[in-house]
């Protein structure tokens, strides 16, 4: 049981954590994978090699220590992580493994500072937090299992359609092998897909935004082919592009995610870059046909060849009388439409067209792009509570 003394001791170890930095989580992951290699079939090993996961975990541990007496400050982070965990089918026994290696890591790195009192405090703190996740994830698993079209763990799907959307992005449509209905989702959420690449050592689970509104029958994801396949970078995306064809079987985990469209009866601005276009497709389709709905869609990408869903978006914009702007950063081709621009997205140039006073802004794309856009919205005095964003991969705060 977590008590006041435990809380005080954990907070007193914050300087120790900050001095250790991400090296602490790097040691933790090396230790855990050495003793429990079966977890490599669950964790994204690419993020291990790039260091992104280690940094994200360290920041999460430090945030927990600093807010252990004010867990309300972590509510959104807990929900985001719990949602992500369900797309990996994380179970209570996994928390036991992680907790053991976390405590042993602290013991091995902190040495003399890791007294019995510190161990007891951190053990109590970890078990307390783990139970919060176990309870919330249990609720999510049960809700999805009991809902119409829902399921638990992995479900087998067949590739119904494969379509190239642009130079780098290909869409995949999946239908359930059992031909039953599929669970609805909120526009903006993602699904987990499990595959075993031919040139990979482990099963791989990745999350991809659903790029089509719910229809109860199929799911569509749209996958960007990532760069050179070095150190597993692009391992799954290249496998999907090159090896997964119509008729093939994959395993999917139920839709999840805390980034999704919420109807607040206000104007909406959807802002995306690159493959961040994918959740926006589901949102645009879901918003289509709503009478008097004011929607502005802003998109940026490198070139016109890399612009996905051009015709699909143009049709939705035209049918609903919405506003759109597009920026091509590196293109030198002739501009084809009045809403197209070259260079980086500049909101100052279109402020008169934006609902700055009351609109909701949804942002998705590479982290540098989102940071760039969110800072512009800050400068335009748009409150953060009206700015919603999603980071692909380990979360980062903007």
37 annotated to bind ligand: no
Looking at residue 334, the DSSP 8-state letter turns out to be: P
For residue 224, give the DSSP letter.
E
Token pair, residue 120, equals: 């007891």
Residue 369 is assigned to a ligand binding site: no
The H or E element spanning position 80 is helix 75-86
Q: Is 206 within any annotated ligand binding site?
A: yes
**Residue 62's closest CA among 132, 15, 114?**
15
Determine whether the annotation assigns residue 289 to a binding site. no
Q: Is 209 annotated as a binding residue?
A: yes
User: Which residues partner with 157 through β-bridges?
Assistant: 176, 250
Tell me if 275 is assigned to a ligand binding site. Answer: yes
Q: Known catalytic residue: 95?
A: yes
359 is annotated as contributing to ligand binding: no
Euclidean distance between CA atoms 94 and 75, whole angstroms: 21
Active-site option among 126, 137, 261, 297: 137
What separation in angstroms does the CA of 199 have from each of 139, 215, 229? Answer: 36, 34, 10
Check whether 176 is labelled as a binding-site residue: no
The answer to the question of whether 223 is labelled as a binding residue is: no
Is 190 annotated in some ligand binding site?
Answer: yes
Is 368 labelled as part of a ligand binding site? no
| Residue in 29, 64, 95, 253 annotated catalytic | 95
Q: Quickly count: other Cβ atoms within 10 Å of residue 364's Cβ.
A: 27
Helix and strand tally (H, E) in the chain? 12, 12
Tell me 248's DSSP state. -
Active site residues: 95, 137
Task: Summarize the annotated binding site as residue ranges.
Answer: 85, 190, 206-209, 274-279, 391-394
- Residues tagged in the binding site annotation for FAD: 190, 206-209, 391-394
Residues of the binding site for heme b: 85
């Amino acid at each position: 049981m977590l008590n006041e003394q435990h809380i005080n001791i954990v907070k007193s170890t914050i300087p120790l954590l900050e001095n250790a930095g991400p090296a602490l989580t790097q040691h933790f992951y090396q230790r855990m994978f050495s003793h429990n290699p079966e977890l490599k079939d669950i964790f994204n090993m690419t993020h291990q090699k790039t260091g992104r996961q280690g940094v994200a975990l360290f920041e999460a541990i430090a945030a927990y220590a600093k807010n252990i007496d004010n867990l309300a400050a972590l509510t959104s982070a807990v929900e985001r992580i719990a949602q992500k965990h369900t797309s990996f089918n994380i179970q209570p026994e996994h928390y036991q493994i992680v907790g053991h290696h976390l405590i042993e890591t602290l013991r091995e790195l902190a040495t003399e500072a890791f007294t019995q009192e510190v161990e007891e405090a951190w053990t109590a703190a970890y078990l307390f937090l783990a139970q919060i996740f176990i309870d919330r994830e249990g609720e999510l698993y049960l809700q999805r299992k009991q809902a119409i079209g829902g399921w638990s763990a992995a479900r087998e799907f067949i590739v119904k359609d494969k379509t190239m959307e642009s130079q780098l992005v290909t869409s995949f449509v999946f239908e359930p092998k059992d031909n039953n209905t599929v669970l609805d989702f909120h526009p903006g959420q993602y699904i987990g897909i499990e595959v075993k690449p031919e040139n990979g050592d482990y099963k791989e689970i990745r999350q991809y935004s659903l790029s089509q509104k719910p229809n109860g029958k199929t799911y569509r994801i749209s996958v960007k082919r990532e760069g050179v396949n070095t150190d597993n970078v692009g391992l799954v995306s290249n496998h999907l592009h090159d090896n997964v064809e119509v008729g093939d079987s994959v395993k999917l985990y139920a839709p999840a995610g805390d980034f999704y469209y919420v109807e607040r009866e206000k104007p909406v601005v959807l802002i995306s870059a690159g493959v961040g276009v994918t959740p926006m497709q589901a949102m645009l389709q879901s918003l289509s046909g709503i009478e008097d709905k004011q929607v502005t869609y802003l998109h940026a990408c490198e070139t016109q060849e890399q612009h996905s869903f051009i015709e699909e978006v143009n049709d939705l914009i035209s049918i609903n009388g919405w506003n759109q702007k597009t920026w091509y950063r590196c293109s030198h081709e002739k501009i084809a439409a009045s809403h197209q621009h070259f260079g980086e997205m500049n909101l100052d140039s279109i402020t008169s067209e934006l609902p700055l006073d009351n609109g909701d802004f949804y942002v998705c794309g590479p982290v540098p792009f989102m940071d760039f856009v969110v800072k512009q919205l800050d400068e335009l005095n748009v409150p953060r509570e009206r700015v919603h964003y999603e980071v692909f991969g380990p979360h980062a705060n903007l």
